[in-house]
Amino acid sequence: MALTDIASSPINWQKNLFAAWRSCFLTGTAFSLVMSFLPLYVEQLGVTDPHSLNLWSGVVFSIPFLFSAIASPFCDGLADRKGRKIMLLRSAPGMAIVMVLMGLSTSIWQFLTLRALSGGFVPDANALTSVHFRLKKPRGLHDGKWFTN
């Protein structure tokens, strides 16, 4: 099969959309699974009062999602200007370094800061999923033709 055959082959957009959705879903699920272990780790960092433990666990869990929502438009704009592959080269080592440093943190403030930084790398990881999948919707799918009589 020549390169021109691959370029001219039709795109199975439904299969690609499902693969992109599945990978984003699994990424989000993996980030959410840490919730059950956060109170134990926060307690090891010195927060012992039950009320404070609940509060810190909630803040530490939610801060990456807040920073992800804030960083997402900037990361998308930067990816459009500089290219998505260079963003992947920035995001993957950045997440790895932040994850290692989270395991080495000695105070709750260090852990909170590193969790916030990890939220800044998540938009790149999710947006870069689309680099691997070519999605080309059939004409008329979302331009109102299917939703009118």
The 3-state DSSP class for residue 68 equals helix
> Sorting pLDDT into bands at 50, 70 and 90, what band is 2?
low
3 state SS for 76-111: HHHHHHHCHHHHHHHHHHHHHHHHHHHHHCCCHHHH
Angle between helices 50-82 and 108-128 (to 10 degrees): 40
Q: Give the tens place of pLDDT for each residue, 107-119.
A: 999 999 999 998 8
pLDDT at 57: 93
- Whether the model clears a pTM of 0.85, i.e. scores above it, the answer is no
| pLDDT tens-digit map of 129-142 | 555 555 555 555 55
State whether the Cα torsion 71-77-81-86 is positive or negative.
positive
Spatial contact of 108 and 46, defined as CB atoms under 8 Å apart: yes
